[in-house]
A and B are shown apart, each in its own frame.
Chain A
Amino acid sequence: MEKIGRVVLLLLLIGTLSTNLFAQRINFSTWSGSEDIVITPVGATSSSLKFNDKEKVIRANMPKIEIKKDDPQVAIFEITAPSEFDVTIELDHLGFLAKDGDPNEGTIPLVLNMSYANNGQGSSNQVPNPQSAQDVPVGFNSVTLPVNPRSGGAPLPPTPEYGGYTRPKSKVYVYIYGAIGPIGTVSAGDYTATVNLNVYVAGGQD
């Protein structure tokens, strides 16, 4: 009877342990200082998507206008994060441009796509190259990826920062592009949308 009691206790203990281990594995990746992720726009025009730079004259009842991944109008961001982290990149927008920011005044459909390049291998001299970027499938607005690609599996717990040790960092490039339209019978004016690019360390959002 006592033996059965011990086995049950052991099982319970294993159960508790595995739960704890799971929680620790997930949360380890968030254990770091707050200055670990930096997002910077690349190039002069890249913090905005100006469809008039692609199609100079935009008029009502026009077909789709598309900014492609390798077009000069693409918005590029450089994310610097510790090499051993996984990051989740999320693109947040409403799906339309609104006249003077007010949807009641008129809207133009907006579909955005995202690609990323995490092939930095820790090099700080990596130059953004849209050709090597991976496309996030259409319809998905978030992606989780290792800052520095590894052969597989979950990330190892990061080395805590101590003394003179700082974590090695790598760069991930994010390309944002997409299309507006078809443009309906809208009145002339300035149509805008704010798109948020959120980056956070994966696993810490529960």
Chain B
Amino acid sequence: MSKKVFLVFLLGVWITGSATAQNRSVAIRATAIVMENLQMITVRDMDLASPPIVENRITVNPITSTYAGLFKILGSPNAKIRINYTPRETLVEQNEGVGMVQAVYSLSAAPEDNQANSFLLTQGNADVTIGSMGVVFLWLGAELDISQATMGSYVSEFVLEFEYM
């Protein structure tokens, strides 16, 4: 009788041993990449008062002109963002409302603060990659047609929108 009990125990041990071989496991990876909040800082406004007027036009080239405005956008390194802006605008004189200035804006971008190395963005909207340091620099240029302008005050509100793609 005691031998039989011993055998049953042995069998039990052997079966439990074989049970571990029955396990199967797979590992699943759950991931979420959290992005930095996008933030824009205006470093310098565009200067439209200083550049010379040539044939009723004021031209500020975003890549070459020192009068260009400068922004920087902070975000997640190497993330892509889409930038939207209004490329054309008609400015009406504030007091009399007679004179008009036609403005065409342009933007250039670079991952570091090096204006000469920046590249021109397509008009209206463009896709830009944030640099490895988590920043992208934007230069704002404009071409103003003042042939219909009168003396007075012109105010423009340049609107720039951006979001992660």
Contact = CB atoms under 8 A, between A and B. Distances in A.
Nearest to B79: A57
Interface majority SS (helix, strand, loop, mixed), chain A:
strand
Interface residues of A, number: 55
Contact of A198 (B16, B23, B36): B23
Contact of A180 (B12, B32, B164): B32
Contacts of B23: 198-200
Contacts of B22: 30, 32, 34, 36-37, 200-201, 204
Interface residues of B, number: 27
A194 B25 CA distance: 12
B164 A57 contact: yes
Given A191-B34, A195-B27, 14 more contacts: A27-B15, A31-B15, A34-B21, A39-B25, A48-B29, A49-B28, A60-B34, A178-B30, A180-B32, A186-B34, A196-B28, A197-B26, A204-B19, A205-B19
The 6 A-B pairs of least Cβ separation, nearest first, read A204-B19, A34-B21, A51-B32, A57-B164, A188-B36, A49-B30
26 contacts: A30-B22, A31-B18, A32-B18, A34-B22, A39-B26, A51-B30, A58-B33, A60-B37, A93-B30, A97-B30, A97-B32, A180-B32, A188-B35, A190-B33, A191-B32, A193-B29, A193-B30, A194-B28, A194-B30, A195-B28, A197-B25, A198-B25, A200-B23, A201-B22, A204-B16, A206-B16
